[in-house]
Amino acid sequence: MNLQSYNDQDLVKLYITGNENGLQELLRRHKSKIYTSIYLLVKDQYLAEDIFQDAFIKVINTLRSGRYNEEGKFLPWVMRIAHNLVIDYFRKEKRTPIITSSDGMDVFNMLHFYDESAEEKMLRDQTHKDLKAMIQLLPDEQKEVLLMRHYADLSFKEIADLTEVSINTALGRMRYALSNLRKMLKTKEMTYKG
């Protein structure tokens, strides 16, 4: 049986009906694109392999449970699962963006050349917590672009490629995300003053 002539949807049906070759062909067909998109985000080969495996475990579980219903959109569906796992990883790690100066020093580390008082540390920690909570309130597309840009340090071209939108759309989502965060901050400040 020549599975290369099958489309993705037929291969999914084949796998669901018990033929493992359907999944193997899907893996062969899409592995490098999915793995590369994960690797571009995490920039670590072993971590990318782990997330790739986690993504396919989710795919297999969803297919076996009969919950798959993305008619003819197998690859975008798997890419979405992979991206969500990457975002979960960054969220769990609570990675802070690294901003380096021209001589390669981390700007945030340079800012802490004085002894921070307990009150200043508390205020900084609370601000970080508030910002993380506000990011969670953003619509998914805006949250994704913001996390990819600031936490995974991707260019807008890379973000556009990974999310399968134009660069202008990626830029627009970033603009909306920042605008929404500003509005939330203003509302929070008003609450403190009131």
Residues whose CB is less than 8 angstroms from the CB of residue 6 and which lie 6 or more positions away in sequence, other chains included: 14, 22, 25
Task: Give the pTM.
Answer: 0.54
Element (H, E) at 84: helix 74-93
Amino acid identity for residue 188 in this structure: K
User: pLDDT tens digits for the chain (194 residues)?
Assistant: 688 899 999 999 999 999 999 999 999 999 988 888 888 888 888 999 999 999 999 999 999 888 888 776 888 889 888 988 988 888 777 654 444 444 554 444 444 444 556 677 677 677 777 777 788 788 888 888 887 777 667 788 888 888 888 989 989 998 998 888 888 888 876 665 65
